Amino acid sequence: MPGIKESLAAIRSTLPPEVGLVAVSKYHPAEAVAEAYDAGQRLFGESRVQELLDKAGRLPSDIRWHFIGHLQTNKVRALVSSGVASLIESVDSERLLRLIDKESERAGIVSRVLVQAHVAQEETKFGFLPDELADFFACGGYRSLKATHICGLMGMASNTDDEARVRADFAALAALKKRITDTAEDLTGFDILSMGMSHDYLSAIAEGSNLVRVGTAIFGERVY
C-alpha cells in the first residue's frame, strides 16, 4: 500500500487547479495528519468536535480545519467558541444554522459555513431537502443572520456503484446551488460547492465541485 505522501501526490495530480482538497483525517491519529502536513497539505476535515479540538491543539497552527460531521446542538458552543474550524461544512438544518449564529455572536466571531443538502437515496443522511433549502433562500432567511456567512453548499451522492446515479446526484447539487444564487440576488460569496469523496470525487468534479473531501484514499481505511 502506498504511504500518505504518495497517495496525496497521486490525488493532487488528478485535481484541476481550482479544486480544493480537504484531507479527511477523522479517526486517524495526529501522526497521520502530521505526515500529510509534511507533504504540504494544510486543509483537513474532522467529523467530531472533541477529536478536532484535540488534534488542533497538538498540530501546527497554520492548519485549516473544516468540520464535516453531523453537529449535535450540545456541541455547537464548544466548536464555535474555540474558533478552530475555518469552515463548518455540515449545517444540516435551519435550527442548527440559527444556533451557530447565536453562539458566534456571543463569541464575538463570524462563522463561515456551508449548508448541507440531501439528494442521495439513503434515508440516513442528514441535510436540507433541496426544496426546503431553495425556499429558505428565496424567503431571504439568510438576511437575519448576524454572525454567520453562508459560503456555499455541501452534499453527498448516493452510496452506490451506479455511476449514472452518482452523476445525477452531483448534477442535482450543482443545479440547486445555481437555483439558490439565481433567486437570492443579494447573496454574496456563495461560491463553494463541496462534493466528492474517495470513490466518487472525479465524478463530482466533472459536475462542478470545487472542493473535494477525501479520506480513505489518502489515509487508508478507518478503524472505528
Ligand X SMILES: *Cc1c(COP(=O)(O)O)cnc(C)c1O
Helix axes 163-183, 130-138, angle to 10 degrees: 10
CB 64 within 8 A of CB 44: yes
Interacting span for ligand X (CB under 6 A) from 76-84, 107-115, 180-188, 208-216: 208-216
Q: How many residues bind ligand X (CB under 6 A)?
A: 12
157-196 footprint of ligand X as x/- string (CB under 6 A): ----------------------------------------
Burial 16-46 (b: 16+ CB within 10 A, else e): eeebbbbbbbbbbebebbbbbbebebebbbb
Q: Which of residues 42-61 bind ligand X (CB under 6 A)?
A: 47
Task: Tell me whether residue 184 or residue 197 sits nearer to ligand X (CB atom).
Answer: 197
59-78 footprint of ligand X as x/- string (CB under 6 A): ---------xx---------
Is residue 214 part of the contact set for ligand X (CB under 6 A)? yes
CB 87 within 8 A of CB 67: yes
Interacting span for ligand X (CB under 6 A) from 35-43, 104-112, 117-125, 213-221: 213-221
Task: Tell me whether residue 145 or residue 197 sits nearer to ligand X (CB atom).
Answer: 197
Q: Which of residues 68-127 bind ligand X (CB under 6 A)?
A: 68-69
Nearest to 21 by CA among 171, 167, 155, 201: 201
Q: Which of 130, 152, 155, 215 binds ligand X (CB under 6 A)?
A: 215
Task: Tell me whether residue 88 or residue 150 sits nearer to ligand X (CB atom).
Answer: 88
Q: What is the CA radius of gyration of the chain?
A: 17
Q: Which of 48, 81, 216, 220 binds ligand X (CB under 6 A)?
A: 216
Q: Cβ–Cβ contacts within 10 Å for residue 169, how many?
A: 24
Say how far residue 9 (Cα) sits from the centre of its chain: 21
What does each C-alpha distance from 9 to 25, 150, 209, 216 come to in angstroms?
16, 31, 20, 14
Is residue 213 part of the contact set for ligand X (CB under 6 A)? yes
Question: Residue 12, SS3?
Answer: helix
The site for ligand X (CB under 6 A) is made up of 24, 26, 47, 68-69, 197-198, 213-217
